[in-house]
Structure 1
Amino acid sequence: MTEEMIIAGFGGQGVLSMGKILAYSGIMEDKEVTWFPSYGPEMRGGTANVTVIVSDTRISSPVLQEYDTAIILNQQSMDKFEKAVKPGGVLLYDPNGIVHPPTRTDINVFKVEATKASVEMGNPKVFNMIVFGSYLKVRPILSPDNVEKGLAKSLPERYHKLIPLNLEAMQKGREIVEEVHVV
């Protein structure tokens, strides 16, 4: 099994954190992983993306041109990465701020109203964990136990009290992800 993915959005949406948690979760399962971030000089509001590869076998390069999965969190990223999803791959997106939803018919498209759900949960900071939970529902490549361990490993210890809230947000994401188009 090899999962090559990109997570892309604005800085401040938790894009890099989501990738880091995914990478640590893969390590907890004794998988080979790469975490390759890319972001502009802006701390918040600029574009950010991270390429993550989780594999049972050795990874030759962290640089990819096509992806098995794309998690898209803004229109700029949709414009740039929708075409880079491999045929039969997965595109998961939050429709908030997406003016032109995905149009490809040769990929599996899923939508998660994570912005809305995070507001309903009373904490917009769990947005990325709602998206992450949706991803794991669509592509269950990691065990829930190892995802929890990966979350604990990626968070500084002073934030470990937030792990239950993050797990709750991930569960919410599993519950609200919607199938838009499946090939």
Structure 2
Amino acid sequence: MTLSKRSIYIISVVILTIALDQISKFWVRINVAAGSQSEIIGQFFTLHNVENEGAFLGMGSELNETLRVILLLILPIVVLGFVLRYIFKDKTLDNWSIFAFSSIIGGGLGNVYDRIIYGSVTDFWHIDLGGPLRTGIFNMADLSVTTGMIILVFVSFKKKKKVAK
């Protein structure tokens, strides 16, 4: 079976996203003391080493083990599988959409891997530009998922603009 350039592109983005995520988390686990906080650019950009047993901003960490496994492991794997199947099958997707979906899949799989292997997800970056311009503590997988979602929003607006013309 020969893989198309499109399939190689999808697989490459997913694998690269997982690799960058796992390498960065490995580096943080080895080099940054658990629970610590270091300034990178003053208080605006800080480096941490926090284990998150939940999902976004720790949501779900208080759930019982069965619900946590269903909502944070099984459901994401099923959804990511469907998204992967979708991007392989829908030949009308543009390169930006393929990149965005592949980044989301890679980021999602990076965090799922952590939950399976470590029982939690290592988060380490925090941005605080004041007021509402502040993040929770996040990692490369979160950044990949968020970037993918932002790209999809822009692509969607671009497509709607073309249809309106």
Normalised by the length of structure 1, the TM-score is: 0.27
**Structure number, greater radius of gyration:** 2
Higher relative contact order (CA 8 A, sep 6+): 2
